[in-house]
Amino acid sequence: MPRKLKVLELFAGVGGFRVGLEHANKELFETKWANQFEPSRKSQDAFEVYDYHYPESHNICTDINEISDDEFKQMDADIIVGGFPCQDYSVARSVKNEMGIQGKKGVLFWQIIRAIENIKPKYLILENVDRLLKAPTKQRGRDFAVMLSALNHLNYSVEWRVVNAADYGGAQRRRRVYFFVFRNDLPYAKQLDKQYEINDDKTRYDSYIFNEGLFAKQFKIKQEAYKKRHAAYTLSDDIVEVSDNFSGKVFNTGVMRHGEYFTIDTQALGNEQPTALKDILQPEQDVDEKYFVDDATRIEKFAYLRGPKKINRTSQEGYEYTYSEGGMSPYEDINLPGRTMLTSEGTTNRSTHWLKINNRYRFLTPIETERLQSFPDNWTKYKKVDGEIKEVSNRMRMFFMGNALVTDIVKRIGNYIDYIENNYK
């Protein structure tokens, strides 16, 4: 029997992490548990799509806050994966310190921490929007530092990188921060101790960041810091102290080990050709007429939305101001990769991909949005509701893909975890 790494997928959506890991090595990565629940919606369409594709795993459609510690302890997962919401990660000390440190109520990162405490996985792969590294506005980097501190307290190391999928062959200019988190008692971590924990040199992890780490191996970068942006910090052992007083810098690449983090502003090497939008478009004869727009009024609306504008507005406090917005191209350049796709894709708004092909305007199709995220064609077409297979609305399919991640990025991360499992015993 081949070895297996058992996976728990949190905030699973329609299964992006699972798709990516299984494309890396389906024999190695076995997703046994998945949790997907959207508290703001009555229908749970994303869960139903996931359950349609993966009925063999234990799929949980309940608020993660309601999963008990005992339930987590019964999951002997080797890996936890998830794209968690970007929120305020500040922490405070509970009343009289009776309950230790408390994160802000409802912040779902603390549920990941609770899962780690109960499961103690070997690895985590996490994903978030890149603005996390600069949040909040009034104390930039604090939220990320709090996360690093929390993971350090649980005896984990963290490697991170902001990845633009188009820099690595993708069809979308989508920037997201990815985390590779690993337990400090693993052979991989112990080998890093031998290599790098030898002195107080603030640049001792440079070779790891530029050449030897997971992201350096899988997503090549230029061999110098952008604008010489380079920093190293020691985090306080007190998470509340980090939350209250953090004032360091966090760049787009880095590693945290044993409470120290080393961070560098890096640039993609630029040796991988992105996929042009035209290369993921369906043949025009296969595109349903409902995606084409011939109505002159609607076409003019898009011209307005995508054009430059200055609008006089009044704030809630009664302050008058001018809202300015620069212009963008009247329609997509299909020789370039697509722009970042949002959940509003396919609606009449500025962020929607607006195509002009053979002198006709149209939207992307659901299949094309799936291709932008490197999902298989028609991945979101069906869902399972109370044992019955039903079709998903096109609008909801667009919404799913706006929320999803580029599965090819996860595939590359999975490839390197496969390498680690084979080479560090």
Q: Indicate which residues carry an active-site annotation.
A: 86
H helix count then E strand count, the chain:
13, 19
C-alpha distances out from residue 165 to 26, 135, 275, 374, Å: 22, 22, 10, 10
Quickly count: other Cβ atoms within 10 Å of residue 27's Cβ.
11
Residue 405 · residue 341 · CB < 8 Å: no
Residue 176: name the closest of 409, 423, 337, 422 by CA: 409
Q: Kindly calculate the radius of gyration of the chain based on its CA atoms and give it in whole angstroms.
A: 23
Residue 401 · residue 369 · CB < 8 Å: yes
Kindly give, in sequence order, each residue whose CB lies less than 8 Å from that of residue 86, ignoring residues fewer than 6 positions away. 128, 129, 131, 132, 135
Structure tokens at 423: 């080479």
Task: Report the interhelical angle of 407-423 vs 16-25 (nearest 10°).
Answer: 50
Residue 236: name the closest of 253, 248, 222, 226 by CA: 248
How buried is 418 (Cβ within 10 angstroms: 0-12 exposed, 13-18 middle, 19+ buried)?
middle
